[in-house]
Every structure is written in structure tokens, then in C-alpha cells.
Amino acid sequence: MNRFLFAVAIAATVALAVLAADSGFGVGRPHASRLDGAAAAVEAVEFPTLQAAIDALPDEGGIVRLPAGTFEIDEPLVIRGDDVCLEGAGTATHIKNTNTARQPAILLAHYEHKGDANDREHELWRVRLAHFRLTGNENSGAGIVARNVNEIHLDGITVSEHGGDGVLLSYCYEDPRVCQSLFTYNKGTGLNLRGCHDIVVSANQFEENQDALHCTDGFNLCMTGNCLDDHLGHGVVIENTYGSVVSGNMIEECAGTAIVVDRDCYGIAFCANVIAHDGAGIDLRDAHGCSVSANTFTIMKTAALRIGPKSGRITVGGNCFSSSYIGEGTDKRVADDRTAAGLVIEKAHGVLVDGNLFSGIDAPAIAGASSGESQSMLSHNLFIETEPGVPAEEIKQLVSEGNYAD
């Protein structure tokens, strides 16, 4: 081959390589033939802005890969399509929201979605945000707002220092998943779930938000294996939600209440949680058909478990209510920091309290008042260095047998 033909061949090869790179199916990769069915893979480093990279995705969706680095934005990054994955390089990818007009850093919503309403006619499906850090400021809005996004998946993200909620999932009805993420120092709620269904919240950490998690007007919350610490308000607030489980969580040092259950909740299990050193423990304000079992309540400032007058048909079994006693007559905490509280029943109807341990409780272990129509049963509980106490004499049909005080 002469030099001219060789040069032409080289030029043609380079042109084809550039064309393949510009097609959005992977920058700088040789393609003898493209895999049939492959979606677009956009490398954000090749675009002038993050939004331009997102907008480069075709209608059928694909992945936008974010490089390591710090990227300032002053208006929301907007995702409007189905089957989109926005993925970074872990916390090395830092998106910093400098907006001071209460706008979110990232907005997920259909093009025609009607504001904050539950607009089931204009929904998105299957959006994943993964492996990046997202920060705001006290005058910014939420970190992430998703409106009517079904099968949304948040995985391995850090959401911090926003002026609103860390994440707001508004009517993300079908199967939202929030896993292995960190929510810290947000002025609102770390994770705010509004009108969601079949929710998984697992293996996340929440630190010093106003409240850690809200689940309102929802169904089937499965909250397991999370760590909550140092919140300025409450830990978990559940309202108008049923058929859920809150299990295996560590909830420590919330200034307010560790778990608040209110507004027509029913059929929820609270089990195997450690609730420690909070302003209060579990407050069943308006809950029915719920179980509180195998939890450890330690050094609570006020009621470790309160069952309010709007609640009833509650089972309380196998829980440990304790002080900071560590054996041989020794308490771990100093005298003014080892208050331990027990169970308070306030005019609740139909409460079974069975097989619990109350040790080192400062007030009566079981206290409260009730109406004449209430039915409560207390049996097989153990009281150590604790005044047992019982609900007030007005409680009818009270069975208090098999209990033991040491």
C-alpha cells in the first residue's frame, strides 16, 4: 500500500472511532459491532455541564456516568425520562447546590407532572441515583425531590446540609428503595416519604437532621437495619400508614421521640430495635393492632413506651426496659444521666403486656390511667429494683398474674 492510501485508511479509521464515541454508547471504546439492545452510556466528563449530559440520553433512557470532582450547580438537575441511571464515583463525585431560592439540587418528574400533586397520569418509571455526594446550604431546598417516580432506587448516596429535606419522595407509589445511603445535617427531614407504597429503607445512616424519617399516607414500610443518631427533633414519624415493619434499627439520642405513630395507623410491628437515650421512646398516639416486641429501651428520659388514649389492641412482649446497670452494683452512667423509664398506658383499650423485663426504672415500671371500658392484661413480667406499678384502679378486667418483683 502506498503512503497516500495508508494515510487515507488511517484517517478513515480515526473518523469511525470518533463517530462511535460521539454516538453516546461509550466514549473511547472500540466497537467492531455494537451489542444488540444496549442502551446509551453517556460520559458526563465529555459535556460542558451535568444537565447537558443528562439531556443527551435518548428517550429509551440509559446511564449517565459522573466523574470524580466537585461540581457546583445553581439550579436543579432535572431528570424527565424513564429507565435512567445517574451514577458517580462514590463520595469523590460531589454535586454542590449553591442555589439560595429554596430549589432542590435534583428534581425527578415527568415533563407534564402537575406540581406537588399526586399526578398518576404523568409518572416516571425505574430511575436510579447511585454513588455520589450531594450537598446544599441553609437557603437551598431539598437535596432530591422525586414526584410520582415508580421503582425509584437510591443507592450509596450522601445527602447533606440542605435547607429542606434531604430527600422527598412524593407519591413514588410503586416500590421505592433507599439503601446504603447517608443523610446528615439537613434542616428538614432526612428522608421524607409521602404517599409511597411497598417501601424498603435498609442499611442507611441518619445523623443530626431535624427528624430522621417521615412516612405519611403510606403503605407497607419495611425499615430495617438503619442507624439514627443525634436528631434535633424526632427519629421516625409514621402517620396514616399500615401493614409495616420497623425492625433492627438503632435509634439513639433524638431530642424528641424515637418513634412517633399517629393518625390512623394499624398493623405495624416494632421489633428488635435498640432505642437509647432519647427524649422518649415509642409513642403510639393513634395506633391499633400493633405489636411492640423484643426491643431494648435503655436510659430513656421519659416514657420508653407510651400507649395513648386513641390507641388500642396493642401487644407488648419480650421487651427489655433498663437503666445503665452493668453488674456488681455498678451503673455505667453518672447519676444525672441514667434515668430509665418504663411503660405508660393512658386510657388505651385492649393492651396485652406479657413477658417483659423492667430493671432499674426510676418511676413505676407500668403507669397510667384508663377509662372504665378498657381491658388490659399484665402477665409474666419481671421487675428488678423497680416499683412494678399498675394502671390505675379504674381499669376493669385487669389480669395481673405471674408477674414477679425482685
Q: Mind giving me the DSSP string for 68-98? A: SEEEEESS-EEE-SSSEEEE-SGGGEEEEE-
State whether residue 189 is helix, strand or coil.
Answer: strand
Nearest to 65 by CA among 32, 25, 35, 105: 25
> Residue 274 sits in a domain of what CATH number?
2.160.20.10
7 occurs within a structural domain: no
Range of the domain at 389: 210-406
Q: Is 316 left (phi over 0), alpha (psi -120 to 50) or beta?
A: beta
CA separation, residue 77 to residues 107, 110, 173 (Å): 6, 13, 22
Q: Give me 177's grid cell.
A: 428503595
**pLDDT tens-digit map of 67-126:** 999 999 999 999 999 999 999 999 999 999 999 999 999 999 998 888 878 888 899 999
Residue 23 pLDDT grade (very low, low, confident, very high; cuts 50, 70, 90):
very low
Which residues make beta-bridge pairs with 242? 219, 266
406 occurs within a structural domain: yes
Residue 15 pLDDT grade (very low, low, confident, very high; cuts 50, 70, 90):
very low
* pLDDT score recorded for residue 121: 87
214 occurs within a structural domain: yes
Percent of the chain with pLDDT strictly greater than 70: 84
Q: Give me 84's grid cell.
A: 435512567
Nearest to 211 by CA among 271, 246, 258, 148: 258
Do 144 and 158 meet the contact criterion of CB atoms below 8 Å apart?
no
**Number of C-alpha atoms within 13 angstroms, CB side, residue 390?**
20
Do 176 and 199 meet the contact criterion of CB atoms below 8 Å apart?
yes
**pLDDT tens-digit map of 130-163:** 999 999 999 999 999 999 999 999 999 999 999 9
Compute the mean pLDDT over every residue in the chain, rounded to the nearest whole number. Answer: 88
Cα 276 from Cα 341, distance rounded (Å): 11
* pLDDT score recorded for residue 327: 78
365 occurs within a structural domain: yes
* pLDDT score recorded for residue 342: 92
Q: What's the distance, CA 341 to chain centroid?
A: 27
* pLDDT score recorded for residue 395: 37
CA separation, residue 280 to residues 5, 27, 348 (Å): 82, 55, 18
Examine the pLDDT at 6 and tell me if it is beyond 70: no
State whether residue 195 is helix, strand or coil.
Answer: coil
**pLDDT tens-digit map of 162-217:** 999 999 999 999 999 999 999 999 999 999 999 999 999 999 999 999 999 999 99
Cα 353 from Cα 80, distance rounded (Å): 51
Examine the pLDDT at 27 and tell me if it is beyond 90: no
Cα 311 from Cα 308, distance rounded (Å): 5
Which residues make beta-bridge pairs with 345? 307, 368
215 occurs within a structural domain: yes
Contacts of 248 (CB under 8 A, 6+ apart): 224, 225, 271, 272, 273
Examine the pLDDT at 388 and tell me if it is beyond 80: no
Residue 80's CB: how many other CB atoms inside 10 A?
A: 17
* pLDDT score recorded for residue 399: 45
| Domain count along the chain | 1
**pLDDT tens-digit map of 216-260:** 999 999 999 999 999 999 999 999 999 999 999 999 999 999 999
Cα 366 from Cα 356, distance rounded (Å): 11
Do 108 and 144 meet the contact criterion of CB atoms below 8 Å apart?
yes
Gyration radius of the chain's alpha carbons? 27
322 occurs within a structural domain: yes
Q: What's the distance, CA 37 to chain centroid?
A: 35
User: Scanning the structure block, which residue is given the C-alpha cell 427531614?
Assistant: 189
Is the pTM higher than 0.85?
yes
Q: Which of 6-10, 276-280, 338-342 has the highest mean pLDDT?
A: 276-280
Instruction: Print burial letters for 247-284: b (CB count within 10 Å at least 16), e (below 16).
Output: bbbbbbebebbbbbbbbebbebbbbbbbbbbbbbbbbb
* pLDDT score recorded for residue 19: 40
State whether residue 152 is helix, strand or coil.
Answer: coil
Which residues make beta-bridge pairs with 77? 106
Summarize the confidence of residues 381-388 as an average pLDDT: 86
188 occurs within a structural domain: no
231 occurs within a structural domain: yes
